[in-house]
Each structure stands twice: as C-alpha cells, then as structure tokens.
Structure 1
Amino acid sequence: MSTGAVRQARPGQPEGERGGLRTALAGLTTRGRSFLAAGVAAAVCAYVLGQSDLLRVGLLLAVLPLMCATVLYRTRYRVAGSRRLSPARVPAGSEARVHLRVDNVSRLPTGLLMLQDRVPYVLGPRPRFVLDRMEAGGRREVSYRVRSDLRGRYSLGPLQLRLADPFGMCELTQSFSAHDTLTVVPRVEALPPVRLTGEATGYGEGRQRTLALAGEDDVIPRGYRYGDDLRRVHWRSTARYGELMVRREEQPQRSRCTVLLDTRGGAFRGAGPDSAFEWAVAGTASVLVHMLERGFSVRLLTDTGSSVPGEGADGFAGASQESADAAGLMMDTLAVVGHSDGTGLSRAYDVLRGGNEGLLVAFFGDLDEEQAAVAARMRRRSGAAVAFLLDSGAWAREPYEGPAPVGRSEERVRMLHEAGWTAVSVPRGATLGDMWRQADRERGGVVAGGTAAESGRSPGTGASGWEARR
C-alpha cells in the first residue's frame, strides 16, 4: 500500500498572527471573561467603598484568567503536527485513511487538546478529536477515513489544535501551514483480454523488430560511439563515409494505442458520478490501464489536441519501466479533466493525421453531422479504430420516462461503420466490460464477413481481429 509523504509542520507563529496580547484575550472562554469582569467589578467596588479585602479578591479574579491566557499563549507554539495519507491516490468510491500525529516538543506537559482537520465537504464531515494530557516529549496519533464518489484533487488541511488551560479560562487555536493533496482518480474496470487488430505490429506474439541488417546491401549504419563493439563495425560503410560506422542493433517496437476523450461541453449533458461524461472518463482510464498492462505504448488525447504524457516519440509513453509513471500522469490528468470550450474535433484530427498511430480508441459524446465526418476521417487505414458513442440525451433522461426515442446516435454509428470504425452506442447504465465485448463481437463479425466474402468461406470461419485470447 503506497503512502504519501509526511509533511511536518514546524512550531511557529500561526498564519494571520497580529498581536500576542490581542490573540490571548480573544481566546478567553465565557468562564474566563466572567472571572475577568467580576474581578474588575470587585476592584472598582473596593476602590469606591475603600475595602482592601475586596480589592484582593477582585485582583485574584482578574489576574487568574490573564495568567492562564499568558501561559497558554506561550506554550501553544511547542506543539508540532503532521499528516500522512494512505494512499495519496485512490479511485472514486474508495476510502483513504488520514493519519494525524501530534508531538509535544516542550518540556512541560500540555492540557486538554482538541484536534481538528479541515477537509472538503465532498470528502465527508470535518473530523474532530479530543486528546488527553500529553507528557513532555510525548505524542498522540489518531486517524480518520475520507471517501469521495467524485474524482478530483482535494486539499486537506490545515491542521488545527485548540488548546485549553486546566481551569477552562482560555482556549486558543493553533493552525499549521502544511497541506496535503488527495487525488481521487476515475474508477478502473478490468477489461477482458482480446486480440486487437494491428497488435502484430509491435507486441506480444507478434512483436516486431526493426532489423538493422536485412542483407549485405540493406544496412542502416550509424556513427561509431565510444563503447561500441568493434565486431559491429561495417567496413563497407566506413570506407564510403570515411569514418567508423557500425550496424544498428535490432530495436523492438511496441504497439501504439491512442485513447481519445471527447471533453466538449456541448457534447455531454448532466452532471454527477452517474453522468455520461463521467462514464466516458472512467472508460478512458480503464482502457489506458488495460493497454499499459498489455505492453502498449499509449497516450491520452483530448479534443483540444493536448496529449499526455507528451514525452517520447510523438507523445507516447516511453519504455516499459516508465509505464507506471506514465499511468500515474494520465490518471492524475483524468482526475481533474473537465469540459472544454471547444465545439469541434479538428484539433484532435490534426494530431492524429500526422502518421500511423496504431490502435485508436475514442469516447465520443453527441456528434453533429460535421463532427461525425471529422471523426470518420480519424481512422487510419493501417490501424484499428474503436468508438464508444454516448447519447447524453438518453443518459440525462429519468428512469421512469421510459426508453429514449431513437435519435441521431444510431446514424452516427452507421457513419463511423462505413468509415471503417468499430462503433458501438453506449446505453445508460451499461458497463465498459459489456461494451468492450460487444465491440469485440462486432469487429469479429465484420472481419469474418469480409474474409468469407473474399475467400468464399462461410461467415464466422475467419480469424477475428478482436479474437479473444484462449
């Protein structure tokens, strides 16, 4: 279980401190103010009546809350607090535990401590704890749980301590400046393994290697570098270029997958964890994780043209050892992604048309005829393309209103089918696993039918491009 880093708040002056005396007096409780008022009143009466004994009583009543406030004000900076998240990144709907630790760094014991941590309302009620008297150099540890059904990045803190004297005359609040961030990422659904069209271009059973030497006359040499094996020197190229040239090593290439998320504000209606847009975000996260687990080089692309992780070749994730970092970066991006102000998909199309992007998986909202045409052109001939279309109008309908009328979603699915896409319409409440299997069946039917038409065999006997692994 991963944990977040502990942030230690150093004892010091709290934020917004203006003056010691004013702060100390502002911390007087009702009991302390009553004692102070009674003492002042007794002192005035003693002065008017000439009663010295009453003056002593009045001074005692007035000085006691002031002394408590002064002592408490001086000792409150000798308490340190820290916070630890376990874990610091959780899926929506899952719980995270927050561990709080309070240390008494002074040589004097503390009184009753009331501990409170500030958390956003969406994470639950504000946690409050009462800590008993803490000995010199002692510490106390408490914990609480937070949970959110809404993805996002939430700030926890600052931690607040309310210190009280033994007589209950004064209570002062100490705020620590340290904050921690809890990242709630979209839910990830495990997807069934299927063999995607185009997989043979780079990974798994069809891992392809770029040969540097396919024959004596087909050599792609490079300049000699310090440390290269001299047995790899290609003497014919060396004689041609006048410098040492070596044969390139075989470079394994990873299959590429681009996951496109439509974030246009006008393409989705409704809000909340059960909305169409949240389904699309969760589906995007699930596909990204699924493809990374299968060894693909992946990237996240939005309708704005922004690409994540944005490093490596053409913005794809790098080597396999960087997959975890790339997954974390893309999940953090999806945790805070929102609706864009754009109205079209042209920027994403400009990014995709630059070359062969391998497999393309897209999550679209409502598409008008123009944007459906743009989406149809995104499909490259050498790679497979899978589209999940969410009819946000149907998703926004109440359950008791009955089935949604047939809209333009089916027409858009037909347009994408004609362009070579494997497109499925996502009804309200559907799971991504079911939609993933449906796309597998539709892709298999198209490929098998095409194979049967070309070879004269009956449909269903051909090998599906989305054939499930056995």
Structure 2
Amino acid sequence: MSSSTTHPSRAAASSGAAKRGKTQMTARGAGMLACGVLLTVLGVGLATPVLVHIGVVVTCAVTVAWIWVLLAVDSFLRAFPHARRVVTPHPLTAGGPGSVSVVIESTRARRKRWVSSVADRLDIREQAAAELTGGIGTKATVMREPGRLELSYALHPARRGRWPLGPSLVRSADPFGMFVSSTPVGQPQLVPVWPAVVDLSATAGALMGHADRIVLGARTPSPDDASLRDYREGDDLRRVHWPSTARRGTMLVRSDERAGRRPATVIIDLPREPAALERTISAAASIAVSVLDSGHPVRLLGAGLHAQSSRHLGEHGTAAARFHLLNETVDLVAPATRAAASAQLITAAMLAADEATQGEVTVAIVEPLERAALDALAPLGDAGRAWALVRADGILGDDARFTVKSLRRSGWRAMTVRAQDDLAELWTRILTAGDIE
C-alpha cells in the first residue's frame, strides 16, 4: 500500500456521482479495446472467423475489467463507508506544525478475512490544500489492522484562513490494469488556520502599566491607586478613596473589577496587498493576545469583524477569550477599496471613543490615513493612552510619516513599521520611546 497527499481545489464535490469516484481507462485498456475492435472488423472484412473470435474475446476482456472495477468500488464502499479525520492541533497556526490522522474502518466485522485482504491491496491518497502543506507533497504513514486503516501525516500551514482537507482517495484497478478508479472516502472539511502570533508577553504588562501611570500622574502607583478612577457624577460617595483624593487633589473612587483590570482595544486597518494584510493581522493578534495574557480584557475593532467583536474578551477567563479572539481573525479579508477601509476605520474609532474616556487603552495598526480618518482617531489620544503602528512600505513612506506626525500632535504615541521590522523589537521601542520613528 502506498499513500501521498494531493492538493484539491477549494470546493470539493460531495454528490452521489462524486461519491462513486471517477473510473478511467488506462493506456493499456485503450490499446486492448482498439485491438479488439480492429481484429473484429478485420475478421469480418476478411471473412476470417479466427480473427473475429480473438477480437470479440479481447473486447469482452476490456468489458469484464470495467465491470470488475465497478464491483470492486461498490464492495469497497460497502466495507469502508466512512473515514474519521482528526487534526491536531485544532485550529492550526500559520507557521506552526500540525498533524492529521485519518482512520478508515470496516463495518463488516464478520468478514474480517476478506476485508483484510482488500485493505492490504489499497492505494490510498489524502487530499490537502497547498496552504496546509506548505505547497509540498506530504509523505504519509499507513498502519494496517484487520478491517482498519490509519493514515498519518504532517501539516505545515503557511497561511491564515480556512482550507480544504480531504476527502481521502482510494485507488482501485482491475488485475490487468485496464481501468483505474479513484474513490473518495469520507467528507471534506475546512480546517481553520490562525495567524502567526509573536510573543509580546514581556511588554504587555508595560503597556497597561504605562497607561495606569498616565492616569494617576505617578511613575510608580501604589496598590490602592492601581484600582482607582476619577469620580463621576452619580458615583456612591462611600466608594471615595480619601487618602488618594487628598494626595492628588482630585476626587477618586474605588473602581469595579473590570476597571481594576484596565481594558484595551486593538483597531485594525486592513491593507489590500495580501502579504501586508497577513502581517497586519498577525501584529494585531499578537498585541491583543499579549494583553489577554497579562490579565486584561481586550477587543478587536475594524474591517470585517463581526458586530459581537465590539465586546471585550477576557473578563471571564483567558483561554476561552484567546480562542475566540484568534477565531475572529481567520475569515478577515482585504477591503474592496481604500475608501471602504477608511469608512470602516472611522466606525471603529467611534466605537473605541466611547470607552477611551473611561480609561481604556487603544492600539491601532493602520495604513497611511486620510484627513477624515485622522480626525476620527484624534480624540482617542487626548488621555495619552493610545499607541499606533503605521505601515510605511515602499512608496507609503512619506504618507506614513505624515500620519505619524498627525497622530502625535493628537496625543498618540506613533511609529512607522516596515515589512522587514521585527515586531517584538518595534513594540518595545514604541512603549519606551514613542517619539522615535
């Protein structure tokens, strides 16, 4: 038995006709059929019964081979009707390792000897999208047991998205090699692949701590101050923290649990170029995950994100929040036009503005912006809790620098970012020295 993987198209057929597979005549079968017909015609034309008999026999042999393959496919589907596929880990992560285990079991427990002999002769191939295998063929390992086949192979996902995997193809042939049939087993499935995530956990705490210091006006806030906020009309006076109020000269109240864990919003402005799109999504996911890992709620806002993404994740556990956050990025696609992207960015900025006045941290990963988008983002920088990375690849350099200057005038800490820049290093620089490009 041999096995390999092939790269199917995105759409996999699952109709009844496709379930039976595709039976093809080989070159040997075509030659035999042509010889049989030719001998029969010559025998009739030359009035030679021997040639006619040989021609009929050869033609009948081809017909028998075709019927053999059809019966073999039918018998196989009755014996092995299902395939169970397990992808580990699930979802996959772009650039990370993965594996697949495909189990095909027989339902004919009483006929194990016959089923086992069939299984020993199977040539099985697994279909996998090139985005899941890194564009290279994958060699699979096959384990055989009576009435059971297990096919295992490695995956090397290269791109974020949802990519087709399966169905398995089993190759059948007649003993004379005149017909071959590829029979699909099991159903195809779409495997989600998360974007590559850079570990920024070492600096996530610095981001949220820096925001706290800005609010409190001190380089090292006390434990009491870390859970305080400014008094707002309607607050219960019993929650006023009088020592901190006296120290600052401004009335402060004890915050609720969520305010003690300052939330953050990551705004994504998606570019249209495929490579830049993936880098932007990866950077946004890396920053958001690092905030989650530091114990703070976070949300993603921007083009292509569902309405429910406007709520913060992580208020009731990090693991589930991380899973949901990364799943939100799987189906993101480039905007149709730059104007559409700007409109979506303005909408995201308006949503973020509602929480920014309550002490929320804002991080934006954007393209060079037009005046309308800059005006929408400007209010978010008033409290000094806003950071931005502006893409400056190629001809975007001058526009990106103008965007950075405009954001800085509004109170943002902004820097340009290029494809060759290391995200972890750049992120550390913007947290420690936001005035450096």
**By the TM > 0.5 criterion, same fold?**
yes
Alpha-carbon distance in structure 2 between the residues aligned to 1:143 and 1:353: 48
Paired residue type of 2:122: L
Shift of 1:219: 6.7
> What residue number does 2:242 align with?
none
Shift of 1:279: 2.8
Shift of 1:158: 2.3
Equivalent position to 1:367, from 358, 366, 369: 369
**8 Å Cα contact 1:364/1:387 also seen in 2:** yes
**8 Å Cα contact 1:197/1:359 also seen in 2:** no
The 1:129–1:295 alpha-carbon spacing in structure 2 relative to 1, beyond 3 Å, is closer
Give the SS at the match of 1:198: helix
**8 Å Cα contact 1:365/1:392 also seen in 2:** no
Larger CA deviation: 353-362 vs 103-112: 103-112
Equivalent position to 2:269, from 239, 262, 269: 262
> What residue number does 2:173 align with?
164
> What residue number does 1:330 align with?
325
Paired residue type of 2:102: L
Alpha-carbon distance in structure 1 between the residues aligned to 2:401 and 2:49: 98
**8 Å Cα contact 1:114/1:161 also seen in 2:** yes
The 1:414–1:33 alpha-carbon spacing in structure 2 relative to 1, beyond 3 Å, is closer
Shift of 1:288: 0.6
> What residue number does 1:461 align with?
none
- 1:378 aligned onto 2:385: no
Overall identity of the aligned pairs, in % = 20
- 1:252 aligned onto 2:257: yes
Equivalent position to 2:157, from 140, 147, 153: 147
> What residue number does 1:115 align with?
124
Shift of 1:171: 1.7
**8 Å Cα contact 1:304/1:347 also seen in 2:** no
Q: Which structure is higher in helix share?
A: 2
**Pairing 1:62-461 to 2, within 5 Å after superposition:** 64-77=64-77, 78-79=79-80, 80-106=82-108, 107=111, 108=114, 109-110=117-118, 112-122=121-131, 123-125=134-136, 127=138, 137-148=147-158, 150-191=159-200, 192-193=202-203, 194=206, 196-199=209-212, 208=227, 252-253=257-258, 254-263=261-270, 265=272, 270-272=273-275, 275=276, 277-302=277-302, 309-310=309-310, 315-321=311-317, 323-340=318-335, 341-344=340-343, 345-355=345-355, 356=358, 358-381=360-383, 384-394=385-395, 407-442=398-433
Larger CA deviation: 325-334 vs 36-45: 36-45
Give the SS at the match of 2:156: strand
Paired residue type of 2:135: G
Alpha-carbon distance in structure 1 between the residues aligned to 2:388 and 2:368: 12
- Any gaps of 5 or more consecutive residues in structure 1? 1-12, 211-216, 221-249, 396-403, 446-470
Alpha-carbon distance in structure 2 between the residues aligned to 1:408 and 1:299: 28
Paired residue type of 1:328: F
Shift of 1:371: 2.4
Paired residue type of 2:257: P
Alpha-carbon distance in structure 1 between the residues aligned to 2:71 and 2:100: 32
**8 Å Cα contact 1:27/1:69 also seen in 2:** no
Alpha-carbon distance in structure 2 between the residues aligned to 1:124 and 1:174: 24
Give the SS at the match of 1:342: helix
The 1:166–1:262 alpha-carbon spacing in structure 2 relative to 1, beyond 3 Å, is same
Alpha-carbon distance in structure 1 between the residues aligned to 2:183 and 2:155: 23
Alpha-carbon distance in structure 1 between the residues aligned to 2:435 and 2:42: 99
Alpha-carbon distance in structure 2 between the residues aligned to 1:384 and 1:337: 27
Deviations 1:23-46 (A, max 9, x none): 89x544343455555566667788
Alpha-carbon distance in structure 2 between the residues aligned to 1:19 and 1:258: 48
Give the SS at the match of 1:97: strand
Shift of 1:177: 5.0
Give the SS at the match of 2:408: helix
> What residue number does 2:243 align with?
none
**8 Å Cα contact 1:36/1:65 also seen in 2:** no
**8 Å Cα contact 1:39/1:59 also seen in 2:** yes
Paired residue type of 1:208: S
Shift of 1:319: 2.8
Larger radius of gyration: 1
Shift of 1:70: 4.4
**8 Å Cα contact 1:115/1:130 also seen in 2:** no
Shift of 1:438: 1.6
Let me know the Cα RMSD of the aligned residues: 4.1
**8 Å Cα contact 1:259/1:362 also seen in 2:** yes
**8 Å Cα contact 1:82/1:100 also seen in 2:** yes
Paired residue type of 1:252: E
**8 Å Cα contact 1:113/1:163 also seen in 2:** yes
> TM-score, structure 1 length as denominator?
0.66
> What residue number does 1:465 align with?
none
**8 Å Cα contact 1:366/1:391 also seen in 2:** yes
The 1:331–1:186 alpha-carbon spacing in structure 2 relative to 1, beyond 3 Å, is same
Alpha-carbon distance in structure 2 between the residues aligned to 1:204 and 1:327: 30
The 1:135–1:75 alpha-carbon spacing in structure 2 relative to 1, beyond 3 Å, is farther
Paired residue type of 2:270: T
- How many residues align structurally? 371
Give the SS at the match of 1:360: strand
Paired residue type of 2:410: A
Alpha-carbon distance in structure 2 between the residues aligned to 1:420 and 1:330: 28
Shift of 1:62: 5.3
